Amino acid sequence: MVVRERFGLLAIVACLYFLVLPPGGVYSNDTNITPEALIGKHLKSIGIPEKVAAVHSRGISGKAEVEFILGASGNLTNGMFMCVSDGPKAAIKMDFEDNNYPGEYFAYDGGEVTVGHITPGQRSPLADFIFLHNATMKEGFLGGVLSTAWPLLHIEDEKPRMKLKETEVKDRRLYELEYGTPGKRPGNMRVKLFFDKENFHHVRTEYRILIADELTSVRNLISGSVTGASATPSGMPAASAPIPTIMQSQPDSIYLLVEEFDNFAVVGGLVLPMSYSLEYSLEGHGATFLAKWTVRAQYYVNNGDIDQTFFVAHK
């Protein structure tokens, strides 16, 4: 049976309703583990290597909602989500039935990262972050194991610098893997991957940028905004206040994007997360923003026919 999503951008040859089965995996209480060993156990937690390697493309669809917490207000619960990947190419799209906030669209076609606009010439805070710090997509991180671009699937080709330690997040003991050399990415973005200590599922990614004592004017929270300092009627922020003088010392600016993955289940022989969320925050002089997007996956399709235009967002 052929299922067509309302986006009309993904040609699917078969539809897989996910089966919520207890996910299998590798369990361990290792305290002395190398980054390479951790990644090996993580890949085994996804599935049998032959089955993992056999998947070259994937389509996922489901429901999405968003809550604007700081710097804007509002809660939209009627959204649709789609994540499509084909080798290193990937795209994430969220549609909301709201004229002021139609949604998000991030895409990488193997060469360029493009993002959608909420109005002509105007990007949302989240889209602005991903556009300016495009390593989130170029290196295959965004979407985690939902995407075939996930860099740990091809770790032998990447050979990144890695630093591993145990840490605690929300009262949960995890492995924290810092991936890549700090300072090598545009904006000095640091990427940290977090794994469950028992089953080695990837459960969290953090992308953090710290701009110390920022002396230039803070950009508008939404690119393209010109005036105003309060939220628009839709709840989306309009602009941020400028810094009075470049001679005045300013607080650090912190940009943080956090992805979380949960509710793992067996889908087509692979263990994948059914729940996915993105939380983006900005703290800086004259600008504060916090919002969270939550996704519930409903359909997964492996190795379907992909419409390649999906990997270019509206410019």
pLDDT digits over 20-43, tens only?
A: 344 444 434 455 899 999 999 999
Question: Tokens in use for 33?
Answer: 């583990």
260: closest CA among 208, 204, 199?
Answer: 204
Name the more confident of 174 and 6. Answer: 174
Kindly state whether residue 166 falls inside one of the protein's structural domains. yes
CATH code, 295: 2.50.20
Kindly state whether residue 28 falls inside one of the protein's structural domains. yes
Kindly state whether residue 1 falls inside one of the protein's structural domains. no
Kindly state whether residue 4 falls inside one of the protein's structural domains. no
For the segment 94-128, what is each residue's pLDDT rounded down to a tens digit? 999 998 899 999 999 999 999 999 998 899 999 99
**Can you give the residue range of the structural domain that contains 271?**
16-311
Kindly state whether residue 6 falls inside one of the protein's structural domains. no
229: closest CA among 280, 279, 287, 180?
Answer: 287
Average pLDDT over residues 60-80: 94
Kindly state whether residue 3 falls inside one of the protein's structural domains. no
What is the rounded average pLDDT for all residues in the chain?
81
For the segment 259-288, what is each residue's pLDDT rounded down to a tens digit? 999 999 998 899 999 999 999 999 876 678
242: closest CA among 214, 209, 262?
Answer: 214
Question: Tokens in use for 222?
Answer: 């939404």
pTM attached to this predicted model: 0.81
Name the more confident of 153 and 231. Answer: 153
Confidence of residue 243 (pLDDT cuts 50, 70, 90): very low
For the segment 49-63, what is each residue's pLDDT rounded down to a tens digit? 999 999 999 999 999
Question: Tokens in use for 39?
Answer: 């990644």
What's the total number of domains in the chain? 1
Kindly state whether residue 224 falls inside one of the protein's structural domains. yes
Kindly state whether residue 84 falls inside one of the protein's structural domains. yes
The confidence score (pLDDT) of residue 287 equals: 76
The confidence score (pLDDT) of residue 251 equals: 60
168-199: b (≥16 Cβ within 10 Å) or e: eeeeeebbbbbbbeeeebebebbbbbbbbbeb
